[in-house]
Each structure stands twice: as structure tokens, then as C-alpha cells.
Amino acid sequence: MSQPNASQFNQLPLLDILSQNLTDAVYLIDPLSSNILWVNKAGYESLQMREEEVLNHSVLSLQKDVVGPLQWQSIANVIRENKKFTFNGRHLRKDGTELPVEVNTSTFTHDDQEYFLSIARDISSRRALEAETQGREEQIWLAINACTDGLWDWEISSGVVYFSPQLKRMLGYGPEEMPPIVDTWKNNVHPDDVPMVLQSLEEHIEGKRERYEAVYRMRNRNGHFIWVHDLGCVSLRGPEGEAARVTGMVKDITDYKQQEFKLLELAAYDELTKLRNRRECTRIFDQQLEIAHEQQQPLSLCLFDFDLFKTINDRFGHLAGDLVLKETAALLSKELDAGDYLFRWGGEEFALICTNTAQDEAFKIAEALRVKLNNFVLKHKDHSITITGSFGISSYPKHGLTQSALFLAADSALYQAKSAGRNCVKITTKR
């Protein structure tokens, strides 16, 4: 079967007549490629384009609220199943402005070829008229509805939930989709976030919280999770003062969360070596100490630094010193297991936490790192740079029960290694 294209349709007299007289935009679409095969005059003029600028271009480039081929195929399947589909969205004009539209799409077959016929109606005037005819409270609701990413209204006794068109659009659904029941929302919340979200909602309904508020992940139509900020409160109470309705609004904060994660990552990692930094070391060490205590497991700490590192900076320059730190950090990280945590403690000093590891096993790990370091040769310009390290070990619970005690013990062992001539591993003698 040949691939359909726009040239098959631009010579049909009936379509020419429709093109000149219909006020709604009409698009004939290839379901597989999402390409526009024919468009009437109202269609391309509403986009501030010429006919040739629209034909054979994907509808995805014109529709702001349908993102990517996966979402298009999902919508295409719904159209096939229901024979029609209504979608409230926004078309992008050539100048970058948005045109609010209600799109009704149906499917048909001609000469054994499947097609979608979409009729897009400009609803900007309708929205303006609705705003004029609504009462003040309804105007406020309409304004909030337009400004937020989604609204919901839950009638507790019946279990019916109203999902606003904006909320459905945010998740990639049409206005006639998403059954108006609690499970529709609950089943789209990330499983790991469900207990926290439900607890916050229940505590508000029970009067333990002034309002319901939660930040969580929600599944969209594509199966991907977006981050949302959900805020609501009891909007109606029954004769006994019990909560009867809960109303709230949802905002898509995915971009904000991604930026937050980047900032947290920057704050947790050393920029030069890409290892976790000193602050992360103290945080993770506390966590692992608690686990070791609860599960009665050993835990070892190793502090080490590079011997006579200052001479490298003095002889080859600070850029060479930075390169040594960067390359050795990458080298040693590859030698560690998943239960080991390597940190840049400061300068040329590093900290290694070995979970569920007693002192003898920690000694073997440190010795392997020492040998790896001792055999490493870094080429810098015309120079070969070698480096050695001194290692000091302490273990929980033998050498201490707290983070500070174990660091003091490991630091003492590191001093012993330095005193013993450097380039060796020592276990603390402190008890």
C-alpha cells in the first residue's frame, strides 16, 4: 500500500468548495506518520501560514499539547477504538502565539487506506463569553482554572472526582477521558509516593492538618512520571462538620525539580574529582552507622592521603596536581564494590566507608588501593608522575561507636602510617 501524501487530495472539487466556505479548521491526517495531507483555508489561515507550509508537516509541530510520537500513537489508538475523539488543546501560530481550540477527530477508510479527519474550532471567543456570563465566584474559579495546570474536586460520599480539562491536558488526555473516580488519580501516583500522599490527605480530612499539600510523581499518558505540587482543602462540610468535598489544584513542577536535583548534585559532589564531598561523607556515615547498629554488622572507615603531594604542585604546577587528584580518584573508584563509598575529604585527603566490613577485610581493600596507586604512572606533558599513599583504618564497633570516635581513630592510624615511612596501611591501635 502506497504512503498517502497531500497531492492526492488537493485536486478534489468538493474539498475546494469546503476549503473556501468552512469557518472551522479541517485537517486530513495520516494516522501512522501524523502528517497533514490536506487542510482547508480556515486551517492554514488560523495558523498564520500558507497552505504549503502546513501540508505534509506533522500535526505534532502544530499542536502544543501533544508531545512526541508515543503520545500521538496512544491518542491514535483511542480514536480507532472509539471512532471519534475530542481534545482541548492549543495550536501554535506562525508568530509563536497560542490559539485555544477544541479538536474533534474521527477515523475513516478510503481505498483501503485509513485516515483521520480533525475539525478544530477556535474557542477563544467562547471562553471570553463564558467569562462575561459567569457570576463573580465562577469567574474566579474560571481564572484559577486557566492559570493553574489542573484542578480537581472530590465528592467524598460518592467517590466522584472532577478533573479539569487542564489537568487532563497536563497528563496528555482528552476532556472525555479519565474516569471521574478516585482510583483514576490514585493509580497514576508513583507507587513509592502513594503512602505519603494518602497520609497527607487523610490527616487533613481528619483535621490534623490545616490543608492538604504534597509533592509527588504522577504518571502521564506516555507512561513517564512528572513532578507535581498538589494543594487542596476541604471546601464543603456536612451537618456534623464532617468533610464532604475536597478541592485542590495541581501544578507541574517537573522543570523546577530537575533543576533542584542538579543543584543538589552539585552541592553533594566535589567538582574536580566527581567524588562525593565531605558533607556527604558525614551524612552517609551517620546512616551507615545506624544500619550497622540495628543489624549488628561491622563497619570500617579508611582515611588516606597522597604522600608528599606538595612536591608535585611545586615541581609540576597546580594543574598537574589537580590532574593527579582527578585521575587517581577515577582509578581507585573502579576498584571498589557497590557497598564501598569513596569521598574527597579535603585537599589530597580521602575517606572510604566500607559497609558490613570488619577491620581485616578493610585492610585488604586498602592494601589493594595502595598497590594500585603505587603502580600508577601519570603522563603530564613530558613528565611521568608517580604517587604513593598512606592509609589508616578504624572499625565499628571495635574502635568506636560514634562517627567522631571512628574518625579520630582512623586519623591516628593514618599518622602511624606516615611515621612508619609512608606508602603503607595501618589499623588503629586505639580501643
Averaged pLDDT, 98-117? 91
Under the banding of pLDDT at 50, 70 and 90, the label for residue 160 is: very high
Contacts of 337 by beta carbon, 8 Å cutoff, 6+ apart: none
Q: What pLDDT is attached to residue 367?
A: 96
Rank 77-86, 216-225, 348-357 by mean pLDDT and report only the highest. 348-357
Is pLDDT above 70 for 6? no
- Only one residue has cell 551507615, namely 288
Q: What is the mean pLDDT of the chain?
A: 87
From CA 274, how far away is CA 201, in angstroms rounded? 40
Please give the grid coordinates belonging to residue 428.
Answer: 588503629
**Is 29 in contact with 38 (CB distance < 8 Å)?**
no
**Is 80 exceeded by the pLDDT of residue 328?**
yes
Question: Does the pLDDT at position 102 exceed 70?
Answer: yes
What digits encode the pLDDT tens for the residues 361-403?
999 999 999 999 999 998 888 888 999 999 999 999 999 999 9
Rounded Cα gap, residues 168 and 151, in angstroms:
9
Supply the pLDDT for residue 259: 83
Per residue in 265-287, pLDDT tens?
667 788 889 898 888 899 999 99
6-126 shares its CATH topology with 269-427: no
Residue 60 confidence (pLDDT) above 80: yes
| Beta-bridge partners for 18 | none
* Domain 6-126, architecture per CATH: 2-Layer Sandwich (3.30)
Residue spans per domain, the chain: 6-126, 134-257, 269-427
Confidence grade of residue 104 (pLDDT, cut at 50, 70, 90): very high
pLDDT of residue 105: 92
pLDDT for the residue numbered 216: 94
Q: What percent of the chain has pLDDT over 70?
A: 90
Q: What is the pLDDT of residues 196-248, one digit of tens each?
A: 999 999 999 998 888 899 999 999 988 889 999 999 999 888 888 888 999 99
Question: Which residues, at least 6 apart from 180, have a Cβ–Cβ distance to it below 8 Å?
Answer: 160, 161, 162, 163
What pLDDT is attached to residue 365? 96
Q: What is the mean pLDDT of residues 181-189?
A: 91
Specify the CATH number of the domain 134-257.
Answer: 3.30.450.20
Measure the CA–CA gap between 369 and 382, rounded to whole angstroms: 26
pLDDT score recorded for residue 339: 84
- CATH annotation of 269-427: 3.30.70.270
- Give the DSSP letter of residue 35: B
